[in-house]
Amino acid sequence: MHENRSTPARVWLFAALALAAAVIVIIGPALFDRFTLNVLTRSMIYAMLAVTVDILWGYTGILTFGQAAFFGTGAYASAMVLSHLGASPALMVLALALAIIVPVLLGAFVGWLSFGHGSTPLYATVISLVVPIVVTQLVFSGGVWTGSSSGLVGYSGLPLGLPGYFRLTGICLIVTAVVALVFTRSDAGKLLVAIRDNEARCAYLGLDPQRLKIVLTTILAGVAGIAGFLYANASGVVAPENTGFVFGTEIVIWTALGGRGTIIGPVIGAIGIDYLSAQLSGDLPFLWNLVVGALFVVMIILLPNGLAQLARMVLPRGNEQASPSGSPTLAAEPAGSGSEAGNRVLAVGGLGKSFGSLQVLQGIDLDVHPGELVSLVGPNGAGKTTLMRCLSDGTEATTGTVTIAGQDISGMTPDEIVALGVGRKFQVASVFDSLTVADCLRMARASRNAPSLLRRSATLGLPAAAADILRSTGLDRMLGRPVSLLSHGQKQSLELAMVVALEPKLILLDEPTAGLTKVERTTIGATLQKLTGELGFAAILVEHDLDFVRDISTRIVVLHQGKLVLDGSVDQVVNSEVVRTIYSGGAHA
Amino acid sequence: MRNRTVILAFASAALAGVALATTAFAEDGPIKIGIPVGLSGANSVVAPSVVQSAELAVAEINAAGGVLGRQLALEIADDASGAAGAQKAFDSLVFQKEVNAVITMETSAARNAGLPIISKGDIPYIYTSFYEGKSCNANLFVNAWVPEQQVPPIVDNFIKSQGAKKFFLIGSDYAFGRGMLEFAKAYIEKSGASIVGEEYLPMEGSDWTAIISNLKSSGADAVITSTAGGAPNVTLTKQLRGAGVTIPYGNLAVDEGTAKSMGADAAGIFISASYVTSIDSDANKSFLAAMQKKFGAELRTPNDLSVPEYEGIYLYKAAVEKAGSTDTAAVLAALAEVSFVGPRGTVSMSRQHHAPLTMYLGQVKADGSVTVVDTFKGVDPGEQCPDL
Amino acid sequence: MTLLLDMVTTAAILFIVAAGLLAIFGVLKIINFAHGAWLTIGAYCAVATAGLGLNPWLALPIAFAVGAILGGITELVIVRPLYRRPLDAILATWGLGIVIGQLITLWFGRDVQFTPNLLSGTVDVFGVGYSLYRLFAVAAALVIGLAFTFLLEGTRLGLSAQAVIMNEMLARALGIDTARVRLATFMVGTGLAALAGVLLTPLTSVDPNMGVAWLIGSFMLVMVAGSSFSTLAIACLVFGGAQVLVSTFVSPIFGGITVAVLCALVLRISPKGFARA
């Protein structure tokens, strides 16, 4: 029950691979000459960095050149302790501790700087360029403390000898790679891919992607610091170029050539290229760089997933049908406490929104109670989607108040509002294209049930309402299927199921039926009626199809030119003179 | 399973890597001299001239019967002018090519990165680049100048002949730049003149605007610069000239080749070197003639970084002959005692592994050539490594 | 007085260098990380022009043409498949920069190259002798800024480019050949970068890596400026001025990283930089 069928095979494969690597590392000193041992020791340290870059860039989508800075900070912290204080066992521990702590602190700061509400992926990349430049400059101006351009040399490191360093770094690399493989394949690891695919959706599932990215940056800065400690000891020298932005780009190049998002690819890429360059660059330095550069450009354009992708294309494929994660089974989750009928779920007072001098919304007052299905109608440009945005993001509204479950949301970020009980479904299905159906749904539960850092769950716990949607749309039989293979309608249903899985008190739906077939539309309508009528959810629905609205709504609100012009029962609104004139295009109320 | 095939591919790739790592054999053939040098990176401008010097020395020695009856062979590796590249290059030379000695000109970062590997491999290392001084290692010998030898000729000339009283110092922010100017500062103050400004720009910086404005407003009557070689030096000189700075200008980092490429902007610059092409000695003339004959149109102008390489190889030859073998301990002992009469005059690394040298004060002419203004014989490198 | 001149001329030089990058980023939303390589190409055009014995001023149009043609090829081969992957475009253009740098090295060698000065000497400005060329740089920056504004506001290409900036889908629906607009914009941007390379030669050395030093600074300025040349001018004045002030009164070492650090902070506070409406 706890293991699904494909898990043991995968685990055995990884274990066998790790074991094989460990054997090579242990017997390596007997196989290789000194030169090869030296080069491979350094290459393996670089490979650890490539793994961290792969987690950040390959999995999470953060293109970073900054790992070099954390690596360099760790290396310099160690080398400075060993140079200026000495290399007694206690000081060695201090060197290791500082090699982790200093990069972690720097990483936390860089993370905070890079990932604020509303900062773009490009901005994070920008910061990752600036950090190595600043750190390098500090090293240059550090005088005798950092050795300036000459670096630090002549300190004594761990008394291991060449074979010892080779084994130590080999084991560190294997541990790093195995931990990274286990983590990225765990339920929690899917979170990284979710952030890469669709950060907005993560936020609207109650997750805080920015905070997660800061945590990730901080931890991986520490890992880079450990690599720096190893480097400072094994090489016996640290130099400014170890912290520089050019080195940062090299790590990215290794990762890209090896194959991002595979962990093993970047390890092979880093070791392979660094080893080859040690062999070849003496003979043809410029040509070697030219070849690497050209190869890199070609790869980025034609093979964005690197050599790993090529390997998959060239090698005979195994059983293509077995989905990589297997299909988990559905399990019921106990329903959370429903909201008490009668209390207002949503209270909007005097809401206004303007872009510069353009007033898009003004003076909106609206109350919604549990069990209500309120449809929001109005012509294009009336401000419907803007209103939905103001209800789900506390930084949007210009004036007025929005209160959800008794709490004013002004200034709150989407994930905080989700925690109050708001679920938002977007007009264009917003799901995670690289994940499976089950993983998408698990993301929706991640804010309630912390996903495992180590394993893939064999079960998928969902509240009954969400499971019902899956059953009525047939998605329950496709849990292991990648989302990218779903139809348009299935994606819409999946997103609705994800939103419902949040167990919100209030669901915001922006044209959920757009582009759907008649059958799919009816299914969604029935689902919505059941959610509100039987289960006590409240829902606000933006919809153009007036027939659909008339069939399912309990109340209709009409928005026109940024103002709320009518709020009443279905009959009142459908038969009103105002609506007819608005929709015939003649009114200027 | 698709993953299985991928993993198998990786495993076989790893095995192939193992097979590639074949062991190099040491043979009882020629004496191998390793030259890790910056074929790429900052030093790549000067590196070809260094390699040419080494090639001439080896060709001459081999033509004359070699060393102890064995021929010399060069192993050249790119150190990319930096620490990481130097590690690869030294690893390759010391442990793969198994050279008998390393004789080369490198950046300080590359030298420092190479030293631990030299110590592990325990072979002699003759460093042939001028540098900021005080690098000490039992296996390391230096036959080029240090600040104690290079700065005094310029400062003395500026104070005595040009009447300079207020000096302004400009450098690149790195060990050499700071090391040179630190010494210059102490020496200028000891000589009775004052420092009215000392400014540094990062090595990759190219905008000297603010520093030049500070220089102009400082009332300085002489400027001494010590930048990284190549680009920063050219950039600073161009901008100094663009801003109309005409006070005596001593450049601690310019070589004849760079001065030539700067054209008219370099005219008037004072340089202090242990080698300029216009040295009027038989040794220099026959050296230049031999270089011209061997390389013809390909010849890179010999300079203060390439000539010590030539002499370094001859010094190594003398030490091996004196020791009677390539045994490291014996050669190291001999290196401190032997001397060689080369283009720069008589060179012997007798002073704490460093070499007393004849220094030349030169001035760049409008056509880029350097005329010798003054000559200082046997300038002592001072206390570089008191423990050696 | 000198301080003020330093600030204005530094801003002008930064503007000249960043203009080509901005043209590309503004319209295409792509960061051309090979920008530094194009500066280098431009500077080597000046070297080649001098080598052929032509008037050094001729290097300006030659560099613009060479830069634009090479840019056109780059757009077609490398950038076009990557419009939907802007981060990959950064990487691919960075790789291209490496390739160009190595090709220049193989062709011209690593050495610092000599170029004749376009203008030399100093002039008196309010009693202070000041570098004539730096003053000329201000004029050049104004010409580039005005020419580009004219191109954007007064020509068909410019109007099409503006339409692409605002709403690409709509522009295409209106019958604008967006592929051609992109090609033309990329060519103008790379042409400007090469032109800037020529204008830099009197101030810096010409060597295969000369562009990299300018890349990060102009990149940061463009990020802050967004897509408008007037905001770029403001950004250059503010941050270039700050750089001169920090260099003069604090330390030139910190001056070197002033632009990058200040820009990063500004972007943290206001993610859209100076472009906020």
Which residues from chain A sit within 8 angstroms of residue B1, using beta carbons?
6, 9-10, 13, 318-319, 322
Per the domain annotation, does C179 fall within a domain? yes
Q: Per-residue pLDDT tens for A23-42?
A: 988 888 888 888 888 889 99
Q: For position A281, what pLDDT does the model report?
A: 60
For residue A4, pLDDT over 60 is answered with no
Distance CA A140, CA A133 (A): 11
Per the domain annotation, does C276 fall within a domain? no
B87: nearest CA in chain A? A235
**Beta-carbon contacts of residue A166 (< 8 Å; ≥ 6 apart):** A25, A28, A29, A32, A37, A40, A41
- Confidence grade of residue A2 (pLDDT, cut at 50, 70, 90): very low
Distance CA A73, CA A93 (A): 16
Of the candidates B91, B85, B58, the residue with the CA atom closest to the CA atom of residue B50: B58
What is the arithmetic mean of pLDDT over B341-368?
92
For residue B134, pLDDT over 50 is answered with yes
Q: For position A320, what pLDDT does the model report?
A: 38
**Beta-carbon contacts of residue A202 (< 8 Å; ≥ 6 apart):** A191, A194, A195, A209, A415, A443
CB contact under 8 A, B203 and A32: no
The reply to whether B234 touches chain C by the CB within 8 Å rule is yes
For residue A401, pLDDT over 70 is answered with yes
**For residue A357, how many other CB atoms are within 10 A of its CB?**
5
What is the arithmetic mean of pLDDT over C133-147?
90
**For residue A236, how many other CB atoms are within 10 A of its CB?**
24
What are the angstrom distances between the C-alpha of A339 and each of A298, A500, A526? Answer: 57, 14, 21
CB contact under 8 A, A297 and C260: no
Q: Per-residue pLDDT tens for A472-503?
A: 888 888 888 888 888 888 888 899 899 988 88
- Confidence grade of residue B20 (pLDDT, cut at 50, 70, 90): very low
| Beta bridge partner(s), residue B345 | B342
Query: What mean pLDDT, rounded, does chain C reach?
Result: 86
Give the closest of C2, C6, C205 to B234, CB-based. Answer: C205
CB contact under 8 A, C112 and B258: yes
Helix H or strand E segment including B150: helix B147-160
- Where do the structural domains in chain A lie, given as residue ranges? 14-244, 346-584
Q: What is the ipTM of this complex?
A: 0.85
Distance CA C148, CA B7 (A): 54
Distance CA A425, CA A391 (A): 12
Answer for the pair B109, B84: CB distance below 8 angstroms, yes or no: no
Per the domain annotation, does C35 fall within a domain? yes
Q: Which two tokens stand for residue B252?
A: 């601690």
For residue A177, pLDDT over 70 is answered with yes
Q: For position A230, what pLDDT does the model report?
A: 96
Look at domain B31-145+279-355 and name its CATH class.
alpha beta
For residue A542, pLDDT over 70 is answered with yes
For residue A93, pLDDT over 70 is answered with yes
Q: Per-residue pLDDT tens for B165-205?
A: 999 999 988 888 888 999 999 999 999 999 999 998 887 77
Distance CA C185, CA C181 (A): 6
| Beta bridge partner(s), residue A584 | none
Of the candidates C220, C224, C221, C214, the residue with the CA atom closest to the CA atom of residue C193: C214
The reply to whether B264 touches chain A by the CB within 8 Å rule is no
Answer for the pair C135, C123: CB distance below 8 angstroms, yes or no: yes
Angle between helices C86-108 and A245-258 (to 10 degrees): 110
Distance CA A501, CA A503 (A): 5
**Beta-carbon contacts of residue B252 (< 8 Å; ≥ 6 apart):** B150, B151, B154, B180, B184, B224, B225, B226, B271, B272
Which residues from chain B sit within 8 angstroms of residue C117, using beta carbons?
242, 265
- Where do the structural domains in chain B lie, given as residue ranges? 31-145+279-355, 147-273
Distance CA A475, CA A468 (A): 10
Of the candidates B128, B104, B60, B73, the residue with the CA atom closest to the CA atom of residue B293: B60
- Confidence grade of residue A5 (pLDDT, cut at 50, 70, 90): very low
Q: For position A102, what pLDDT does the model report?
A: 96
The reply to whether C261 touches chain A by the CB within 8 Å rule is yes
For residue C231, pLDDT over 60 is answered with yes
Per the domain annotation, does C239 fall within a domain? no
Look at domain A346-584 and name its CATH class.
alpha beta
For residue B353, pLDDT over 80 is answered with yes
**For residue A487, how many other CB atoms are within 10 A of its CB?**
11
For residue C232, pLDDT over 70 is answered with yes
Higher pLDDT, B379 or C226: B379
Q: Which two tokens stand for residue B153?
A: 């000729």
A131: nearest CA in chain C? C261
Angle between helices B2-20 and A306-314 (to 10 degrees): 110
B147-273 CATH fold: Rossmann fold (3.40.50)
Per the domain annotation, does C10 fall within a domain? yes
Torsion of CA C173, C175, C177, C182, to 10 degrees: -50
Q: Per-residue pLDDT tens for A333-370?
A: 766 555 454 577 888 888 888 877 788 888 888 888 88
End-to-end alpha carbon distance in chain C? 34
Query: Which chains border B (3 or more CB–CB pairs < 8 Å)?
Result: A, C
**For residue A313, how many other CB atoms are within 10 A of its CB?**
10
For residue B209, pLDDT over 80 is answered with yes
Q: For position B19, what pLDDT does the model report?
A: 42
What is the arithmetic mean of pLDDT over A245-260?
90
Per the domain annotation, does C222 fall within a domain? no
Query: Which chains border A (3 or more CB–CB pairs < 8 Å)?
Result: B, C
For residue C217, pLDDT over 60 is answered with yes
Distance CA A368, CA A346 (A): 5
What is the arithmetic mean of pLDDT over B257-281?
85
For residue A588, pLDDT over 70 is answered with no
Q: For position A336, what pLDDT does the model report?
A: 56
Mean pLDDT is lowest, of A145-154, A375-384, B115-124, C195-204, for A145-154
**For residue C157, how many other CB atoms are within 10 A of its CB?**
15
DSSP B360-379: EEEEE-TTS-EEEEEEEEEE
Query: Which range is most confident: A46-55, A129-138, C147-156?
Result: A46-55
What is the arithmetic mean of pLDDT over B326-355?
94
Query: What mean pLDDT, rounded, does chain A reach?
Result: 84
Q: For position A10, what pLDDT does the model report?
A: 67
Of the candidates A21, A60, A50, the residue with the CA atom closest to the CA atom of residue A307: A50
DSSP A363-375: EEEEEE-TT-EEE
